[in-house]
Chain A
Amino acid sequence: MTHTHDTDPLSRLQHGKQELRATRRAMTLPEKVAQVVELQKIAVVTISRRRRLTEIERVWPLDKG
């Protein structure tokens, strides 16, 4: 039997997005912080195209120290 989300492109997309979000929710806290840093890298590029970055809009130096 074929599920709707296997055939309908929109349902497949929604299903894939739900799976991705569930994976993100299940990350450990250090993994989530690492993901925030990846999002910061994207954000500084997009923000700096529109305006000057503020003092705190910097990518966190997430070293293992």
Chain B
Amino acid sequence: MDTFERAIAAITDLQQDGIIDDYAIGGAMAVAFWSEPTATFDLDVFVELKSSGPLVSLEPIYSWARQRDYKIQSEHIVIGGLPVQIIPTPDRLAEEAVAEAASLVYGDSQVRVIRPEYLIALFLEPTARTAKRLTRVAMLLELESLDRRLLTDILQRYNLSLPTPL
């Protein structure tokens, strides 16, 4: 088991310990898993928190991290040297992306990863739409395995559009 797999195991423990309902890797690492590796320094993990009140608190996660002696650095939990950013799903699109995530094989482990169609939609949200993320959108659009019908459906339902001339 390498460092990355141990980080995945720790995130799975978060679920088994009842702190989160579900999780899925997003961001640049998810893009790398579906497409090509790019330079990134953290691992974005979208989570469905157990508590579903109006106020979102990451304190149960930080408390869990402190109990395990994981360092907390710039809003990241450092697991085996990997900065992991835990992101509570901010909207319905992210919730759906986590619920529909794919289980991929990493070594001897299963890892949940946001599907490329949902990654594209998340990168196209007005609050996320940066030049770097549009480059990632272009990379994902090149995938032969991309389900274009599903992508169109997601974009229509969430009122998002691909940038021209992509």
B residues near A33, Cβ cutoff 8 Å: 2, 4, 29, 32, 37
Residues of chain B contacted by A12 (CB below 8 angstroms): none
Name A29's contact: one of B33, B42, B143 (CB within 8 Å): B33
- Residue in A36, A61, A65 whose beta carbon sits within 8 Å of that of B1 in the complex: A65
Report Cα–Cα, A39/B39, bound state, in Å. Answer: 5
A7 CB to closest chain B CB (Å) equals 26
**B105 at interface (Cβ–Cβ under 8 A)?**
yes
- The A-contacting residues of B in range 1-46, CB under 8 angstroms, are 1-6, 29, 32-33, 35-42
Chain A nearest Cβ from B9, distance in angstroms:
11
Bound together, the chains give a CA A56 to CA B83 distance in angstroms of 6
The reply to whether A60 and B111 form a contact with Cβ atoms under 8 Å apart is no
Which residues of chain A are near B3, meaning CB under 8 Å? 60-63, 65
- Chain A residue contacts of B39, Cβ below 8 A: 36, 39-40, 42-43
Q: How far is the CB of B86 from chain A (nearest CB, A)?
A: 14
